[in-house]
């Protein structure tokens, strides 16, 4: 994986108000698209709510080429932060499996609401 273009790009959770392509999200996070795709594969196979956030194609299969939802972008920003801290994908995978609630839609909604409260204060 290529180094991040911005050292602090994954220090904070990312909250988007719109769906984003992987290319756009990689630019926002300051990483190569291939790095983001690696993070997406980690999340896809270990976080059921992340996988279920993809729309279904007309044949019933998951459409992984569609833009990522704001929830999925948030998850990938967290996976990126873990990669920066833990440095190895196996450690990140283990952390995710042991801490599934940290990546849930509920946790996302809680974090987003806290952000909204801080903005309003």
Cα of 41 vs its chain's centroid, Å: 10
Domain range spanning residue 45?
22-120
**35 domain-assigned:** yes
Instruction: Enumerate the β-bridge partners of residue 56.
Output: 62
DSSP-assigned states of every residue in the chain? -PPPSSTTTTSS----SS-B-HHHHHHHHTS-HHHHHHHHHHHHHH-HHHHHTSPBPTTSSB-TTSPBPHHHHHHHHHHHHHHHHH-SHHHHHHHHHH-GGGGSHHHHHHHHHHHHHHHH-
What local confidence, expressed as pLDDT, does residue 115 receive? 83
Model pLDDT, residue 6 = 53
**64 within some domain:** yes
Tens digit of pLDDT at every position of the chain (121 positions): 444 445 544 556 789 999 999 999 999 999 999 999 999 999 999 999 999 999 998 898 999 999 999 999 999 999 999 999 999 999 999 999 999 999 999 999 999 998 888 777 5
Domain contains 31: yes
How many Å apart are CA 110 and CA 116, to the nearest integer?
10
What's the total number of domains in the chain? 1
DSSP β-bridge partners for residue 104: none
> Could you report how far apart the first and last alpha carbons of the chain are, in Å?
39
In a domain, 13, yes or no: no
């Amino acid at each position: 994986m290529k180094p991040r273009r911005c050292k602090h790009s994954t220090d904070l959770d990312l909250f988007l108000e719109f769906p984003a392509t992987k290319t756009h999200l990689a630019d926002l996070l300051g990483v190569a698209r291939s790095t983001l795709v690696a993070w997406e594969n980690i999340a896809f196979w270990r976080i059921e709510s992340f996988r279920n956030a993809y729309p279904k194609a007309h044949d019933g299969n998951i459409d992984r080429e569609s833009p990522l939802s704001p929830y999925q972008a948030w998850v990938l920003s967290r996976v990126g932060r873990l990669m920066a801290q833990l440095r190895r994908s196996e450690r990140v995978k283990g952390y995710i499996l042991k801490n599934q609630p940290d990546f849930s839609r509920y946790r996302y909604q809680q974090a987003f609401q806290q952000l909204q409260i801080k903005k309003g204060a």
